[in-house]
Structure formats: C-alpha cells, structure tokens
C-alpha cells in the first residue's frame, strides 16, 4: 500500500510502509525463519491488484474459525471482494489454503492521522480448519496493559526496504516491550496513546517492517496476543521502538464483532 504522510517531520510510516534506512536485510529485522507450526495463528492478508492477481499486503491472526484480527490501516477503504487470506503455510505466495472474505470491520474510532485504534476484524467467507499446524490466538483481559521489559514475539513476511521484495518464508523475532513512558520520550507525549504499546531495543536492529502490518505481537512462548503491528519511524532505528495497537484496549470490541 502507498505510504501515508503525517503532517510532521521526520515522516512516520506504517509498519507496512517502513523505510529502509541503511539495512540490507529483506525480512523482519534481526529475525529468523519460522519453523512449521511455530506461528500457527498467522495469516497473510492479500490484496487484488489492477491486473487481477493477488499479492501479500499485511499480516493477521486467527481469533477463531471465522474471525481474523488485523490492523485498521490494512483494510481502510478496501472492499471485502478485494481481499483474501492465505493460511496454514510458511509462505505467503504458495501452499496452504486461500479463503475469500465476507466482511471487513475497522474499529469505529480508528484515526488515520495519528494511527490510533489501529485494529480491524475480518470475517471469512467460510470457516477455517483449526487443526494440525493451524491454531488461534487468545486475548488478554479487557483493559490489560503490557509492562515494559516483557519478552514478546512478532512474526511476518515483511521486508526492510520500501517497495522491496518480500521474503518467501515467514520470519519471526523476539524483542522486549518498551514502557509507554519511554516510548513517549522517543516519539512525543501526544503521539503514543493509551491504545498503543511499543517494543524494541535502544540499539535498534530488531523490528517489524514493510508487509508486517496487522500481524500479531504475542507474549513469548505463548499464543496470547498483546499487540497488532501498526507503525514506526523507519525500520529498527536506534531509539525508535516499533509501535503496536494495544490488544488489551480492544478485547470487548473484538468479542462483540467476532463470529
């Protein structure tokens, strides 16, 4: 998706549109290839191109057999007929199963200017098969928050270069969460809302990037989803954490809109 500008500099961009900087990696920064069944809840959200072909656009996570969680900016303005998902595969372009989408529901308070409330639900046109290497995420308690220093895991097919090639295989990386207070020092008091959580290291080098948006941030070693990949300045830049929608802020809404 094309980059969206904020009215301030330096330009913040969605994780699906992050800038390269000086990195030459072609995947989640600092990550490794995922193993079969390691990230059983992830899906590739695919968008139909002008020529009629489909390509990976964002990530997402399986909440139940009918419901996918992703980022609002990944589906903002998109018709359900222009999107599909691929699941049960480590590769975004081959394998697994393709499923059409029945309904797209962006959060009603999503704000494209400050990227707040950046969550959405997708209802699939037919039930997914939850078995074998396919699993679901579990939600935290409504109103829960992510304490700084918690080990979390982010996964996706994203690159680190604007418009670069996507890696064939799913990548995953562990990273510590960053307190909201520290993240506000990095970005500005008004830029990081209570509906956002952050993760990264001061030195940089670990992050989500282009094509990872909408994907799950989970507590390490579990399937408890605590974040949705949302935005940041560049990819894995020192002193600039990745920013995620805070899942604990939206549990009631997810449960009210799932099928």
pLDDT by residue (tens digit) across 178-212?
999 999 999 988 899 999 999 987 545 455 656 78
Question: Which tens digits make up the pLDDT trace of 143-179?
Answer: 999 999 999 999 988 764 444 566 688 989 899 999 9
Could you tell me the pTM of the whole model? 0.87
- Fold: same for 13-35+138-248 and 42-136+251-257: yes
Q: Which of 85, 86, 168 is nearest to 122 (CA)?
A: 85
Q: Where are the domains of the chain?
A: 13-35+138-248, 42-136+251-257
Range 182-204 burial, b when 16+ CB lie within 10 A, else e? bbbebbeeebbbebbbbbbbeeb
1: DSSP letter: -
CATH of domain 13-35+138-248: 2.40.10.10
On the 0-12 / 13-18 / 19+ scale of CB atoms within 10 A, 208 is buried
Tokens of 244: 């995620």
Domain 42-136+251-257 coded CATH 2.40.10.10: yes
Residue for token pair 């489909």: 54
Q: What residues are annotated to the active site? A: 73, 118, 213
């Amino acid at each position: 998706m094309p980059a969206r500008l904020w009215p301030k500099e330096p330009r913040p961009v969605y994780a699906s549109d992050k800038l390269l900087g000086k990195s030459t990696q072609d995947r989640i920064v600092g990550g490794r290839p995922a193993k079969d069944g390691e990230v059983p809840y992830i899906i590739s959200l695919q968008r139909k191109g002008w020529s009629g072909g489909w390509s990976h656009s964002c990530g997402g996570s399986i909440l139940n057999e009918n419901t996918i969680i992703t980022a609002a900016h990944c589906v903002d303005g998109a018709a359900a007929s222009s999107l599909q998902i691929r699941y049960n595969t480590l590769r975004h372009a081959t394998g697994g199963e393709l499923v059409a989408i029945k309904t797209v529901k962006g959060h009603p308070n999503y704000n494209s200017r400050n990227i707040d409330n950046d969550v959405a639900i997708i209802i699939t046109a037919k039930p997914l098969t939850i078995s074998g290497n396919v699993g679901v995420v579990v939600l935290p308690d409504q109103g829960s928050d992510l304490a700084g220093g918690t080990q979390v895991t982010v996964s996706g097919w994203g690159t680190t270069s604007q418009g670069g090639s996507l890696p064939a295989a799913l990548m995953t990386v562990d990273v510590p969460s960053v307190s909201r207070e520290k993240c506000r020092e990095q970005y500005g008091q008004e830029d990081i809302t209570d509906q956002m959580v952050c993760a990264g290291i001061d030195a940089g080098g670990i992050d989500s990037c282009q094509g990872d948006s909408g994907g799950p941030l989970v507590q390490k070693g579990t399937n408890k989803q605590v974040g949705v990949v949302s935005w940041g300045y560049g990819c894995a830049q020192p002193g600039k954490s990745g920013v995620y929608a805070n899942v604990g802020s939206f549990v009631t809404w997810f449960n009210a809109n799932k099928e």
